[in-house]
Amino acid sequence: MSQLSTRHLLGIKDVTETDIRLILETAANFKEVINRPIKKVPSLRDITIANIFFENSTRTRLSFELAEKRLSADVVNFSSANSSVKKGETLVDTVNNILAMKVDMVVMRHASPGAPHFLSRNISANIVNAGDGTHEHPTQALLDAFSMTEKLGDLAGKKIAIIGDILHSRVALSNIFCLQKLGAEVMVCGPITLLPKYISSLGVKVELDVMKALEWCDVANVLRIQLERQQIKYFPSLREYSLYYGINKKMLQSLNKEIVVMHPGPINRGVELSSDAADSEHSIILNQVENGVAVRMAVLYLLAGVKG
């Protein structure tokens, strides 16, 4: 099969293992393309893609825009801060006005969980979810899986620990779904106040001691504390969080094995990861950024081949 089973990428929960493996295989081909002297291919020439971001973004937005341009797509960027949304225009009206200009695909980030799903029922264009609130961030999970596969090979049976603010993280949920579909074992680790009550129902291990999680895992995917989403205090201070859950190079060197350290960014250095850990030989954080472009090229290319 060389076509996805869905015409949107709304979340990892909605895609099959076959879809995930197809995206990762296609991404490997595109990674070879973006490392050539001439990094552009005409795969999406005459396709117009709108990047519609209702939340701040640096890495994800730049990564999508670069992926689109590498595929020769025409790109339209939309920011809600300078738009008619400020005048009271609805989400559907905003997007329909953009689609009236003959846009073929929408990449959307929104603060409300489920916003891309709602939009997919109301418009005809393909939709890629670039993050919806605390719900899902599918392309981040795919690029994380691609980066792990590059380092470790097949992920079946591998042990992945997701450490940090699980409660407010869209990356955590997408990673859990993706890794489980690829056969990996998943553990979450963090303060009990930052673990969702339902988390064990997803079939993951739960650990409150960060050293035990590091000793168990092959890969530590470290998440930042999402202070902008926290309405109440979940722990006394960042300093205390860092003392109990911060990871440094000394901790990594004390393990009786080599593990891989990942982070979706942005890193709060000195909080969840010390600089010596983030920049160590254990870290593949910059590989993740590079792989993000290849994976998003694969997603856009494959979705463009799926007609409604």
Give the model confidence (pLDDT) of 154-167 as tens digits: 999 999 999 999 99
- 162 and 248 in a single domain? The answer is yes
Q: What pLDDT is attached to residue 64?
A: 98
Angle, CA 183 vertex, CA 181 and CA 184 arms, to 5°: 110
Q: Which of 205, 219, 207, 91 is nearest to 145 (CA)?
A: 219
pLDDT in tens, 213-256: 999 999 999 998 865 555 557 676 888 989 999 999 999 999 99
Element holding 219 (H helix, E strand): strand 219-222
Q: Report whether pLDDT(304) > 70.
A: yes
| pLDDT value, residue 95 | 84
Whether residue 177 is found in the same domain as residue 70: no
Same domain, yes or no: 238 and 166? yes
Confidence of residue 84 (pLDDT cuts 50, 70, 90): low
Distance CA 144, CA 141 (A): 5
Contacts of 290 (CB under 8 A, 6+ apart): 31, 34
Q: Is 87 buried (19+), middle (13-18) or exposed (0-12) by CB count in 10 A?
A: exposed
Q: What is the mean pLDDT of residues 82-99?
A: 75
* CA dist 302 → 35, 49, 51, 126, 203 (Å): 20, 14, 17, 11, 30
Q: Tell me: do 226 and 158 sit in the same domain.
A: yes
Residues 43 and 150 in one domain: no
Confidence band, pLDDT 50/70/90 cuts, at residue 82: low
Q: Tell me, yes or no, whether 249 and 294 share the same domain.
A: no
Which SS3 state, helix, strand or coil, does residue 287 take?
helix
Does residue 106 sit within a domain?
yes
Q: Which region, left, alpha or beta, applies to residue 162 given φ > 0 means left and ψ of -120 to 50 means alpha?
A: beta
Specify the pLDDT at position 92. 84
Residues 162 and 93 in one domain: no
**pLDDT, tens digit, for every residue of 51-79?**
999 888 888 999 999 999 999 999 999 87
User: What is the per-residue pLDDT for 88?
Assistant: 73
pLDDT on residue 94: 83
Specify the pLDDT at position 249: 96
Number of H helices, E strands in the chain: 11, 9
Shared domain for 91 and 172, answered yes or no, is no
Q: Specify the pLDDT at position 81.
A: 65
What does the pLDDT read at residue 58? 85
Cβ atoms of 299 and 9 within 8 Å: the answer is yes
- pLDDT on residue 79: 77
Q: Which of 1-15, 76-90, 115-129 has the weakest average pLDDT?
A: 76-90
Q: What are 46's two structure tokens?
A: 């005459």
122 and 166 together in one domain: no
The reply to whether 1 falls in a domain is no
> Average of pLDDT values for 265-285?
94
Write the CATH number for 107.
3.40.50.1370
Q: Is 59 annotated as a binding residue?
A: yes
Check the annotation: does 266 bind a ligand: yes
Domain range for 44: 12-136+289-304
Say how many C-beta atoms besides its own lie within 10 A of residue 275's C-beta: 12
Q: Output DSSP code: residue 269.
A: B
232: left (phi over 0), alpha (psi -120 to 50) or beta: beta
Whether residue 6 lies inside any domain: the answer is no
The two structure tokens encoding residue 181:
């579909």
Known binding residue 109? Answer is: yes
Decide the pairing of beta strands 159-163 and 126-132.
unpaired
Q: Tell me, yes or no, whether 125 lies in a domain.
A: yes
pLDDT at 144 (0 to 100):
98
Q: What percent of the chain has pLDDT over 70?
A: 93
37, pLDDT greater than 70: yes
170 is an annotated ligand-binding site residue: yes
190 and 260 inside one domain: yes
Q: Which pLDDT does position 216 carry in this prediction?
A: 98
On average, the pLDDT of the chain sits at 92
Q: Annotated binding residue at 265? A: yes
pLDDT of residue 36: 94
Ligand-binding site membership of 137 (annotated): yes
Question: Is residue 162 assigned to a domain?
Answer: yes
Does residue 159 sit in the same domain as residue 61? Answer: no
Q: What's the number of domains the chain is made of?
A: 2
User: In the chain, what is the straight-line distance between the N-terminal and C-terminal CA atoms, in Å?
Assistant: 18
Residues 31 and 149 in one domain: no
Classified as helix, coil or strand, 160 is: strand
Q: Is residue 3 part of a domain?
A: no
d(CA 173, CA 180): 11
